[in-house]
Amino acid sequence: MATDEPPPVRFGILGCANIARKVSRAMILSPNSTIVAIGSRSLEKAANFAKNNGFPASARAYGSYDAVLDDSDVDAVYIPLPTSLHLHWAVAAAQKKKHILLEKPVALNIKELDLILEACESNGVQFMDATMWMHHPRTSKMKEFLYDSQRFGQLKTVHSIFSYNSGDDFLRNDIRVKPDLDALGALGDTGWYCIRAILWAADYELPKIVTALPDAEYNEAGVILSCAAYLHWDDGKRATFYCSFLSNLTMDISVLGANGYLRVHDFVIPFQENVGPFYVTANTKFSELSIGIDPAPSEHKINTDLPQEALMVKEFSGLVSGIKEHGSGTEKKWPTMSRKTQVVVDAVKASIDKGFVPIEVAY
């Protein structure tokens, strides 16, 4: 029986990082994608990863990353490698005409990211970073509230926190604390999410000035374990964030407008996979005798049939299918979001490195 459904996008995975377990599950859950290959520096490790994570029996395991890029059946690659390896392997993938889903932080700095994006553009491949919460239906519902001039009004300030405390083994051994692998540390990992949240709330208008707040915390190798920063816009908007590997798991966004307020306590990874809550207050006043407020805050619960990472894969695969099957152009909003986030990451890092001085954001 004929069908108009395009064939599923065929993914190859570079590396066996822990996060690849979650994203490979998403590729299996997504209705328009499948996994055809995984590569590791160890063939045995790649084969075991495929077996232990429910890959299709036809998926091929390779003992190198190059072999995945050389596989003509691979349409797109997911790259969860350490950040220091992103430039080489993302450019290599683009040159082989593979569409790219890249883990964050996408690069060590904007110079590297621009080389990646130029390779994607010149080879006509779709780029997207793997910031999963962007794809939860809650995210668009929250944005509807922020766009409501009566209930929210003009954006005034945003505050975001993403922190977790993974213990001594993480702080000794994880790639995110190694200067040769992920030199941005907590700023690149948890800070990426905070900065993206702020830009999302500000409709991706970049701040004018970024100032890191003293003092950052470092490990013995000089990698950032916690930091905070203040962002300022010419129109008076301001934002702050705190990111850390040393504090209790917290994933908050608070957004304050002239007429309303939004908060969410699990923006990075929802506490429950199938529902995402958020809370709003609008046109709030103290009640009679100031013994309460009116109206009371309201909670909104947004259900989803697929987890946010599967929705990310579905969105990405739909873009790839459009390019493959219909000759569509690449969707530019995703690399633009990544680039703006990276620009602010760079400004925070520069402020820290120069003694917490204000840095003008240049795009």
Cis, peptide link before residue 214, omega less than 30° from 0: no
- For residue 5, give both structure tokens: 């459904």
Sign of CA dihedral 350, 354, 356, 362: negative
Pair 272, 284: CB distance under 8 Å:
no
CB-based burial of residue 52 (10 Å sphere; 0-12 exposed, 13-18 middle, 19+ buried)? Answer: exposed
DSSP element (H, E) containing 256: strand 246-257
Burial 231-256 (b: 16+ CB within 10 A, else e): bbbeeebbbbbbbbbebeebbbbbbb
- The span from the CA of 272 to the CA of 275, in Å, is 6
Q: Say how far apart CA 156 and CA 259 lie, in whole Å.
A: 10
Q: Is 131 helix (H, G, I), strand (E, B) or coil?
A: coil
How remote is the C-alpha of 235 from its chain's centroid?
27
51 among known catalytic residues: no
Q: At what angle do helices 308-326 and 18-29 cross, to 10 degrees?
A: 60
Residue from 50, 45, 11 nearest 309 by CA: 11
Which tokens sit at 260? 């309303």
Sheet strands (E) in 201-284: 209-218, 224-232, 238-244, 246-257, 260-264, 275-282
To the nearest 5 percent, what fractions of the chain are helix, strand and coil? 40, 30, 35
DSSP state of 292: S
With contact defined as beta carbons under 8 Å apart, do 224 and 215 qualify? no
104, 237, 314, 349: the catalytic one is: 104
Residues marked active site are found at: 104
